[in-house]
Copies of this chain bind each other. A is one copy, B any other.
Amino acid sequence: MDVILKYMRPVAVIGIGKTAFGAFPDRDLRSLAVEAIRHAMDDTVIAPLEVQAFYLGNFAGPSFVGQNHLAPYVGTAAGFEAIPCTRIEDACASSGSAFFHAWQSVAAGIYDVVAVAGVEKMTSQTTPRVTEILAGAGDMSGEGRAGATFPALFAMIARRHMYQYGTTREHLAAVAVKNHANGAKNPLAHMRKVITLEQAMAGKPISDPLTVYDCSLISDGAAAVILVPLDQAKRYTSRFARVLAVAQTSDHVALDTKKDITEFPAVRSAGEKAYQMAGLRPGEIDFAELHDCFTIAEIVASEDLGFVEKGQGGPFAAGGCSAIGGPKPINTSGGLKSKGHPVGATGVGQICDIVMQLRGDAGERQVARHRIGLAQNLGGSGATCVVTILEGAQ
């Protein structure tokens, strides 16, 4: 940590770009990624040949669409020439990690202009195998062999959270209702559908206690951002966002190696590192995008990041504290639940959503206090976590 702080220069996000998230049978992986990168470059007026390095987050392109070696495959199509093009895979935190490494390289003074994208194309001929492909983010030699898919793993987490802290089905459903309400107002969201608490409670069971309304979506999509040193940001735009902190940490992949499955040490340590780097306390975060791959994951993350006391994430959500009008708005984009979860795109997508709020560009979903936002991107059942804190330009 001390090593890091000694050398860093401040970094800014100067351009953001997203595709819509959804099921797009006629689109391929590369065209989605290139669309997001072009939006990000157009957002700030950067030409491809100015980009000095390219990081691409992708979880399972080879499994979903049979294409590997994705960084130069996408990078050259975006117009980047003879630069390092690197794909990073850290499960559902792939593009959060790509952002971390891109930020490091600019902060350390290695490059001045870096592009980061995340992409996943999940609807394909292999979609019937999606649960098996996603299970590869867990421990296949143990969890996988036992048939424990991700809904099953997070169902165990939810059940234990209920047992230890009194969390209820209503608490989980409240997260789904909130995120669907937010996503319904997001033109780029996958499922723009308001649901009631009754509907969420009566959802089709997936893995008890989780119903279909507790689970995120199988989506196609891409997101991209452009990073430069803060002292160069104004040359490009007045609408930049300052990166106050990024921290990536890891933990064991298998859930059965964890002491207490109701908390994720990687989320806690990434959060602590990020708060320390930013010089902020959890209470000073105005709003956040949390990794709600399942409703219980948002509840656990809100606790592990210190937004609420351990065990109180359920009542916190059910009481409206994380609604757009509440004291700590969470997942104003709709979250993975309603916006969609094209796995490799999710981390950078969260950063884009935070920057939109910081700029005051979130329309109907705009939060009142929008000076500092936090994004939390989780890989697997907590083996990787990336926490990013951003501040608006004003």
Residues of A within 8 A of B (CB): 3-4, 6-7, 28, 30, 52, 59-60, 62-63, 65-73, 75-76, 80, 82-91, 97, 100-101, 104-105, 108-112, 132-133, 136-141, 144, 248-253, 257, 265-266, 269, 379-380, 383-384
CA distance A60 to B68 in the complex (A): 8
Q: Which residues of B contact A136 (CB under 8 A)?
A: 62, 66-69
- Smallest CB gap from A91: residue in B: B69
CB distance from A392 to the nearest CB of B (A): 26
Tell me the complex Cα distance, A63–B76, Å.
24
Provide the bound-state CA to CA distance between A381 and B249, in Å: 34
Closest to A75 in B: B250
Instruction: Determine the distance from Cα of A190 to Cα of B110 in the docked complex, in whole angstroms.
Output: 38
Shortest A264–chain B CB gap in Å is 11
A251 and B76 in contact (CB under 8 A), knowing A110-B4, A136-B69?
Answer: yes
A88 contact set on B, CB distance < 8 A:
86-89
In Å, the complex CA distance between A379 and B104 comes to 24
Contacts of A91 in B (CB 8 A): 68-69
Q: Is the CB of A251 within 8 A of B86?
A: no
Determine whether the beta carbon of B90 is less than 8 Å from that of A89: no
Verify B383–A250 contact, CB threshold 8 A: no
**Chain B residues within an 8 Å CB radius of A69:** 89-91, 136-138, 253, 379-380, 383-384
Q: Which B residue's beta carbon lies closest to that of A59? A: B68
Pair B383/A73 contact, Cβ less than 8 Å:
yes
Please report the C-alpha to C-alpha distance between residue A108 and residue B4 in the assembled complex, in whole angstroms: 9
Knowing A62-B63, A73-B139, A108-B108 touch, does A248 contact B84 (C-beta < 8 A)? yes
Query: Once the chains bind, are B90 and A87 in contact (CB under 8 Å)?
Result: yes
Report A277 CB to chain B, min CB distance, Å: 12
The docked-state distance in angstroms from the alpha carbon of A214 to that of B32 is 38
A250 touches which of B82, B139, B384 (Cβ 8 Å)? B82
